[in-house]
Amino acid sequence: MIERPERALVSFAHPDDEIGCAGTISSWVKQGTSVCYVLCTNGNKGTEDPDMTPSRLAEVRSKEQQDAAAVLGVADLVMLGYDDGELEDTREFRGKLVKEIRRFRPDVVLTHAPITQLRHTHRDHRICGSVTLDAVFPYARDPWHFSEITRDGYEPHKVKTVLLWGSDEPEIFVDIRDAIEQKVNAMLQHRSQFLDRPNRDPNRVPGDFIRDGARRMGERAGLDYAEGFKKLEFRT
């Protein structure tokens, strides 16, 4: 288990990726944690519909993300606006994450596990996780990294803990029994990805795969429903 933080920042690649930790966020927000979402891309390629233009899809997914955040009580939502599939490990991207970390000053940062061996993951997920980790340490910590951000008033900040979802070997588990339906409800706000897809199985109850995944994770920790993370700690 992990102690509830006062402030948590979630860095994720696409609209709907935050569902990986939505149960944890729901539980923490109910207990008083302040949460910031940093969405890195606009998700404008995430469709099988050739008639849906990237610009229109970006608008749809922006609204879906706002609705999903509202379900969990997350008011601080930052959208960096990179195109879907175009995340790169650049100084510009790293600097934007450094700025948000220094601005929000979280105790805990949650993001994608950048390295997995059991399954292939989206390249944006890997880049987002890797660059977020670099932004946490050492770039957000030291004043002479991104000194221009320091001069703009965003003082260095030391993050205590990073939690990685999607890890092959989760070691920290959060009990989301009381948050599972809010996690499902947040997922359902992303209609373009989970409800309106042309190949969706009409016989499958929306949200069942979320419940099933949380149940399987819970079995590893002796819980009804859980989310699991790899934990990294940094000296403060």
Decide if pLDDT at 114 tops 90: yes
pLDDT level of residue 74 (50, 70, 90 thresholds):
very high
Per the CB < 8 A criterion, the answer to whether 24 and 227 are in contact is yes
**Which tops the pLDDT comparison, 211 or 2?**
211
pLDDT for 92:
98
Q: What does the pLDDT read at residue 1?
A: 74
Over residues 66-85, the mean pLDDT reads 98
Average pLDDT over residues 97-121: 96
Q: List pLDDT tens digits, range 213-236.
A: 999 999 999 999 999 999 999 976
Averaged pLDDT score across all residues of the chain: 95
Q: Is 28 exposed, middle or buried (0-12, 13-18, 19+ CB in 10 A)?
A: buried
- Tens of pLDDT along 160-182? 999 999 999 999 999 999 999 99
For residue range 24-38, list pLDDT tens digits in order: 999 999 999 999 999
Model pLDDT for residues 186-220, shown as the tens digit of each residue:
999 999 998 887 777 777 777 899 999 999 999 99
- Residue 18 has a pLDDT of 98
Specify whether the CB–CB gap between 37 and 15 falls below 8 A.
no
Residue 57 has pLDDT above 90, yes or no: yes
Q: pTM value?
A: 0.96
Quick one: pLDDT at residue 236?
66
What confidence tier does 87 reach under pLDDT thresholds 50, 70, 90? very high
Confidence at 73, pLDDT banded by 50, 70, 90 = very high
- Which tokens sit at 218? 């819970």
Check whether 124 has a pLDDT greater than 70.
Answer: yes
